Amino acid sequence: MSKEQPPHPKLAAARALAKRAMQEGARWDELAACRGIDLDMEIFFPLSETRDNVALARQICKTCPVAVECLDDALALGDVFGVRAGTTGPQRNNMLRRSSAIDTNTV
């Protein structure tokens, strides 16, 4: 089992700033690292989600101060297309299926 690394100090500071901005009314997507660079849709929506094709998007997501909010949003919407929060569509699909199985087993 891998231990989660603490975020880089600059990312931790960016997350703190983003959290404060959201408390003051900003929407999470206004603070996204990918905001303004989505002109090239191929970065976040590659034709095939191979490791190489999603590498750049994942690098951008690693610097994103609102990745947690992004993943929460994607899962809430059932968005399984493209890269969100460094995850591919199939990965989120698996998360949703596992979550659904857990819900079913606990009811």
Residue 2 C-beta: closest distance to ligand SF4, Å: 20
Q: Cα dihedral angle (16, 13, 5, 51), rounded to 10 degrees?
A: 90
- Per-residue x/- marks for ligand SF4, 70-99, CB under 6 A? x-------------xx--------------
Q: Does 14 interact with ligand SF4 (rule: CB under 6 A)?
A: no
Residue 98 C-beta: closest distance to ligand SF4, Å: 20
Applying CB under 6 A, the residues found at the interface with ligand SF4 are 32-34, 60-61, 64, 66-67, 70, 84-85
